Structure 1
Amino acid sequence: MSTMWQLASSGVRAHRGAFVGTAVVLAVAAAVLAVTGVLFESGMHLQSAGDAASGGLLVSLASSYAGTLIVVVVMVVAATVSLALRSRRREFALLRAVGATPSQVRRAVTLEVGVVSLVAAPLGAVAGLFGARLLDPVLVRSGMVGPDFTSSLSPLPVLVAVALIAVTAVPVGRLGAREAARTAPTAALQQSAVEDRQVGLGRRLTALAMTLGGLGMAFSTLWIPGVTGSAMASLSAFLLVGAAALAGPVLVGWIFDRVARMHPAGGRPATMLAVRNVRGFSRRLTTVVVPLALVVSAATIQTSVNRALTTATEQEFVASVAADLVVTPTQDAAPDLTAQVAEVPGVAAAVPLAMIPAEVRTDSEGGALAWEATTLRVVPAGTTALDPDVVTGSLADIDAPDTVAVSSDTAFTSGAGLGETLTLRLGGDEVDATVVAVFSRGMGVAGVITGPATAEAHGLPVVADTLLVDLADGADASGTTAAITALGATATDPQTHISTATGAAGNENEVGTALLLLLLAVVAVGAASTLAMTTVARRDELALLHRTGTTRRQLMAMTGVEAAITGVTAWVVGTVAVVPALIGVSAGVLDGPPVVDVPAYGVVSAAVVVFALVATALAARRTTQVATAVA
């Protein structure tokens, strides 16, 4: 064991440049994982302290974000560690040639990666633990938590983050050394200088399975309704990028072959060399393409899905409201605003809507996680001013106490369909409410609708927060609106109302933006590390080219063209991977063509190519300087 430890420690010292890049990636990934853990733990503490609404929101936020984050962390860490080890294939071959056994090589690599992980991950996780409190003001501004909120800090998020990083990095390192350890020493020496574009049968089948799974998940909105289906569909982009990573040498090699055929043989020397290089080293460049493609996919899917859900909410609300005006009270409004509005000349009817707090049981087990904070929309039974598009049952039946109507999304997630019961906490009472109707426009109306009788039966005051106003035939709309405004309320048409409401949700979107930036930070650091390691590892190759007459300026131009080709390839792969998800999400929630956040997509697409050029140029500048000096 002491010999293995000496071999591993010597390897880390000898390749500290590559391991520094790997350590930075592991530290950043651990920091973001720790931030997610702090959000989850803070939500749990709020729930146990009696603040079920804020705690439930934080737990839901952390849970939804954690799934995407873990997928991204696994892919970025795997790409970085595998590239760091790929550049050492010649070293592994030499170890085999001087008598090292395959198991000794694997153990040495496992110890190396383990040492780096156990040093970098705790440092990053501790930084993320304390840095999580920088999100506190954002959470307060979003209204998710109270003004006196402070994140809960404990060692648990650090331990979980370190464990996840170690579980990801160490097996990847072991797999990275597996091929070199199994190959005969002479064959390994030959393969260390020439890349094999082919991949094994198992890897091909896994890539095919992930591709089919990603495409199936992209269109899961066709049978899984609402936000739940959209969340599943958005993950399809990561599965497709993962499939591209597994089939990368073949896929990227095929793309580079097409590029090479487009370039004439008599072109500029730097461009010709660049095209030939990317064609011959597709396996090496795959580890660069994958993180950059992740940037395009992650940013596009997050921003575009949010826009699609916002558009769907507006569409469903407008389709649900059959009234002419939507009236909302201000602070100056009188308690009897509903009666006052009903007496305004030109008003035919004023239907009050209210919201009451509740908790819904999410599973049959006890504990804090069994209950999720929610709100119930209180609607007078028999009203025609609101049409949530009832699929089964009748909305008139909510007039009885302890009855509810649920959206198709809520029915799917809770398992409570027509005639079944939905367990709620209302005003301190645990209620088995009977589902009397299922409706489809849950995003625009609410997840659960009940009548005033249910709220009053459990001591919850019903205070109207919205009035749906019908105008009489021939009424002066502008005059009636002015009269309602004079009562201390705002009165707008349904489209203007919902557009204003969704626009005012900018503070809540600020939380999503902050988490998206943290996610992109992991990917960007991983991409920068892989680009730098790839360029630095080519010092001998660049020195050989310089000896054969290539100038340093031509070497810089060559690496620049390679970076441009790599960046554009990553953009293509990321775009192709995200298209099915965007189509699937839009098909599931929208009435119209797919929605894409074009500004965000354009910015991130340009940023990927520029990032590849800048990161490569910075690394190539130093590498070509050393290479030409050695030559």
Structure 2
Amino acid sequence: MIGIALRTLRFHRGGLAASFVGMFLGAAIVIGCGGLLESGIHRAAPPQRLGAAPIVVSGDQRYHGTAGDEVFSERVPVDAGLAGELASVPGVAGVAADVSFPVTLTRGGRRLAGHGWSSARLAPYTLVKGTAPSGQGGIVLPDRLGVRVGETVEALVRGGVERYRVSGLVGGAGDGAFLADAEALRAAGRPGKVDSIGLFTAPGADAAKVARDVERAVAGRQVSVLTGDERGLAENPDVMSEGEDLIPLAAAFGGLSAMVTVFVVAATLGLSIRRRRPQTALLRAVGATPGQIRRLIVGETMLMAVAATGLACLPGPHVGRWLLAAFAEAGVVPDTLAYRAGVVPVIAGTCTALLTALGAAFVAAHAAARTRPVEALADASRETHRFSRFRIVLGLAFLGGGAALAWGTAKSDGPDAAGVATPAAMVWTAGFALLGPVLATAVTAALRRPLRAATGCAGFLATENARARTSRLTGAVLPVMLAAGLALALTYMQTTQTEGAREVFRDGLRADLAVTSRAGGLPLDAVDRIARRPGVAAASAQVTSTGYIEPAELAGPPAGDGDAGEGAPKPPAMALLGVTASGVTGTTAFRATSGSLDALDGASVALPERFAAPYRIGDTVPMRLGDGGRAALRLVATVRTRPGYETALLPAATLLPHTGTGLVPQIMVAVRPGTDPARLAGTLARGEPGLRVADRAALSALRADQDRTQAWMSWLVLAVVVGYAAIALVNAQILAVGERRRQFRLLRLVGAARRQVLRMMAVEAVLVTAAGLAAGTLVAAATLVPLSLSVLDAPVPHGSPWILGTVIAAALALTLAATLLPTLALLRGRPGATGDRF
């Protein structure tokens, strides 16, 4: 039978080409998503500014001992004294400690990264003019800025204006500004702390052995010894946390693509094999066994699948690189994260495609193989088989799983609901696809009379065709359901989540103005200065970070490297907001449900009610702040927050030393009644150098821009997955029409005009679109209603009705075009012509 399969492939080019395209595109997307997943696991970030040091020591960003090793959100600092210890490690020829801080030139507003001069050798930078900075007041700038040696420049550093004399110019691709080491440590605002330490090895020393010796020297401390691409983690610690986000994103994206591939290939292959039912019936009539029929179909399919997946291995990694670059451009992941994927994603994608093809081939061959020889020829002309009990049971099982996930979605916190809703959409899609014949039959029955009344004979022929060939109708409906259901579910999922986040922002905003600085932040004493300005009712710092309530079993010294074992605790994580006690109630919606927010001073905290249950007012709450620092904070109040958006309030003075810059990024200002906010904004902006003041409308617009940036990722996923489903829709419709050659010829021979046949096919396209949209709408509704209940506390998802209208119009247009254009091609010849193939 394999020999027959090889010899007959060329006679079924149309059907196999449709399945080939589906497998090729699906395998390429799955391979690309697998590469994204592996890149998220490796989190490689090739070093740039620290590239000259073969070994880099930086703070370990992992929260050891927790389930999954949580990642601290802020940079974990390193003791400056460690540099001297490491200099004595055998094989270390030199050390260079590095700190980073923002420097903004007042002329032109150019933003630079400030460092100490001793770290210039890490890049390395080359001094092209002048001398190194020495003492207070000297600075070295990039030569491409157009400044001259000896010139005096003004720069915003730590929220204030500093005057520097340009002592030298450096060449290089970076945007580094260099101060004397002592001056840089003062500007960084972390006394006794540095960001990282670069180690230079002696000539002839084994860098790997030196790295092992360094690891032994720092054992038991919250530091990491980095070599190779890992050194980039010291430059951008966000790669650890944001790069980790790439893992669930790639897994969800790849899983969704794989599911679409399964149904697309099954639908197109099923249609292709149904076209060959007369040939299969003839083989059964002349003595072919069911096993031989299965081997024939499976052999043909696997030959085609091997070719399709083999070709997909070439563009697959490029798809992954393109997706990673797109995510980085949108700000979803750091742009320093490198695409690192080996053979595992290729093997996984290839195996997925081959197993999909194999399963689809067995399913498609089942009806033909189980036919008895005496029924074969009759079975070739009319459809007699009902779909199996196993399919019914499996479909109902998937619907049950979808219902369970829907319940989980509705009970999830708002920000986490999409993580449950996405697999729920997959499960619902599988269930409705397996029960497709029932849905198609129901829609056909419901539309039979309206279509016949509206279109006459064309409607009669179309509905009778649909009723007689349910399997063919189902194969054509499935891609429409996939494209429409996923488009509606993913689009309204994004708009609903965006609206939920926007509601939380609007509900929490009480300030009229927000003050920021071009310097990258403001000193904490600027809050008091602004609060004393005429017309200001209240002012509060707003410092954001993320922290954990530390479990008792992790209260000891930091654990060393290694994964946490089974049963490791998962500490409660929450957003941290550093505020000013005197202005928090005037500028935010936070209100104490117990205790008092006025007591937020020193080592204190106000916890969300959800996490405050084990404690009483006055108790000490052990916490780990954003940079891994431990803090024993006195509970002074509890606050009510929306589930999933819990925020703990700390005094800004307590939180600032545990943030990256140690500066206040934003000061919220409430305006006194009777004061013009616009005039006050102008007064505040003139009050201090580099200040920027935004009103409430500008804050809302900024929030909308951030939402759009996050939504861009979802739109990309939507475009790729739904675009693939749309291609499959066109493939399936062309394939389904190609099966109708004999029917068209017969209709023409009995007197039907081309126009009449086209009207019949147009009505069938409408029927297919209606059935697909009905099933797709059920998938979307079953996914979105629980999500909306979780995010908006309402059953109706947020989003424009034009989205629904666009999906309906696009599905109808694609289905009509993919149906009528092939029909026109088939009707070009004379009714009695023979020997043509589609």
TM-score normalised over the length of structure 2: 0.66
Partner SS, residue 287 of structure 2: coil
Counterpart in the other structure of 1:201: 389
Structure 1 counterpart of 2:666, from 455, 460, 466: 466
Say yes or no: does 1:538 pair with 2:737.
Answer: no
Q: Decide whether the 8 Å contact of 2:437 with 2:470 is kept in 1.
A: yes
**In structure 1, what is the Cα distance between the partners aligned to 2:780 and 2:708?**
25
Partner SS, residue 189 of structure 1: helix
Say yes or no: does 1:378 pair with 2:567.
Answer: no
Which of 326-335 and 532-541 deviates more? 326-335
Q: 1:457 to 1:396 in 2, by over 3 A?
A: farther
Pick the structure with more strand per residue: 2
TM-score normalised over the length of structure 1: 0.85
Q: 1:47 to 1:375 in 2, by over 3 A?
A: farther
**In structure 1, what is the Cα distance between the partners aligned to 2:609 and 2:826?**
60
Q: 1:174 to 1:57 in 2, by over 3 A?
A: same
Partner SS, residue 183 of structure 1: coil
Q: How does 1:219-368 map to 2 (within 5 A)?
A: 219-264=407-452, 268-331=456-519, 335=523, 337-356=526-545, 366=563
Counterpart in the other structure of 2:802: 599
CA deviation after TM superposition for structure 1 residue 402, in Å: 10
Number of aligned residue pairs:
617
Counterpart in the other structure of 2:816: 613
**In structure 2, what is the Cα distance between the partners aligned to 1:425 and 1:16?**
63
Letter in 1 for 2:577: V
Letter in 1 for 2:814: F
Counterpart in the other structure of 1:100: 288
Q: Decide whether the 8 Å contact of 2:605 with 2:648 is kept in 1.
A: no
CA deviation after TM superposition for structure 1 residue 253, in Å: 1.6
Q: Decide whether the 8 Å contact of 1:293 with 1:570 is kept in 2.
A: yes
Structure 2 counterpart of 1:441, from 642, 648, 659: 642
Q: 1:184 to 1:354 in 2, by over 3 A?
A: same
**In structure 1, what is the Cα distance between the partners aligned to 2:428 and 2:614?**
37
- Per-residue deviation, residues 337-388 of structure 1 (Å, max 9, x unmatched): 4333223212132111213477999xx9829xx999x995332386434446
Counterpart in the other structure of 1:109: 297
Partner SS, residue 490 of structure 1: strand
Say yes or no: does 1:210 pair with 2:207.
Answer: no
CA deviation after TM superposition for structure 1 residue 441, in Å: 2.9
**In structure 2, what is the Cα distance between the partners aligned to 1:166 and 1:135?**
24
Partner SS, residue 379 of structure 1: strand
Q: Structure 1 unaligned segments of length 5 or more: list them.
A: none
Partner SS, residue 491 of structure 1: strand
Structure 1 counterpart of 2:37, from 29, 40, 44: 40
Q: 1:477 to 1:421 in 2, by over 3 A?
A: closer
Q: Decide whether the 8 Å contact of 1:8 with 1:111 is kept in 2.
A: yes
Q: Decide whether the 8 Å contact of 1:217 with 1:232 is kept in 2.
A: yes
Letter in 2 for 1:306: Q
Counterpart in the other structure of 1:179: 367
Counterpart in the other structure of 1:480: 680
Partner SS, residue 303 of structure 1: helix
- Per-residue deviation, residues 575-601 of structure 1 (Å, max 9, x unmatched): 233123222222211155531343332
Letter in 2 for 1:46: R
Q: Decide whether the 8 Å contact of 1:571 with 1:609 is kept in 2.
A: no
**In structure 2, what is the Cα distance between the partners aligned to 1:439 and 1:168?**
49
**In structure 1, what is the Cα distance between the partners aligned to 2:716 and 2:328?**
13
Q: Decide whether the 8 Å contact of 1:358 with 1:424 is kept in 2.
A: yes
Q: Decide whether the 8 Å contact of 1:303 with 1:597 is kept in 2.
A: no
CA deviation after TM superposition for structure 1 residue 609, in Å: 0.2
**In structure 1, what is the Cα distance between the partners aligned to 2:244 and 2:606?**
21
Q: Decide whether the 8 Å contact of 1:90 with 1:189 is kept in 2.
A: yes
Which of 429-438 and 307-316 deviates more? 429-438
**In structure 2, what is the Cα distance between the partners aligned to 1:433 and 1:6?**
77
**In structure 2, what is the Cα distance between the partners aligned to 1:153 and 1:239?**
29
Which of 239-248 and 329-338 deviates more? 329-338
Q: Decide whether the 8 Å contact of 2:43 with 2:338 is kept in 1.
A: no
Counterpart in the other structure of 2:726: 524
Pick the structure with more helix per residue: 1
**In structure 2, what is the Cα distance between the partners aligned to 1:39 and 1:208?**
34
Letter in 2 for 1:624: L
Q: Decide whether the 8 Å contact of 2:766 with 2:812 is kept in 1.
A: yes
- Per-residue deviation, residues 28-48 of structure 1 (Å, max 9, x unmatched): 111111221222222223268
**In structure 1, what is the Cα distance between the partners aligned to 2:548 and 2:703?**
24
- Per-residue deviation, residues 522-572 of structure 1 (Å, max 9, x unmatched): 201211111111111111222222222222332223222211221232223
Which of 468-477 and 222-231 deviates more? 468-477
Counterpart in the other structure of 1:9: 6
Counterpart in the other structure of 2:716: 514
Q: How much identity, in percent, do the aligned residues show? A: 26
**In structure 2, what is the Cα distance between the partners aligned to 1:96 and 1:432?**
80
**In structure 1, what is the Cα distance between the partners aligned to 2:664 and 2:314?**
47
- Per-residue deviation, residues 197-234 of structure 1 (Å, max 9, x unmatched): 73333322333333343344334333221222233235
CA deviation after TM superposition for structure 1 residue 611, in Å: 0.3
Structure of higher CA gyration radius: 2
Partner SS, residue 630 of structure 1: coil
Counterpart in the other structure of 2:358: 170
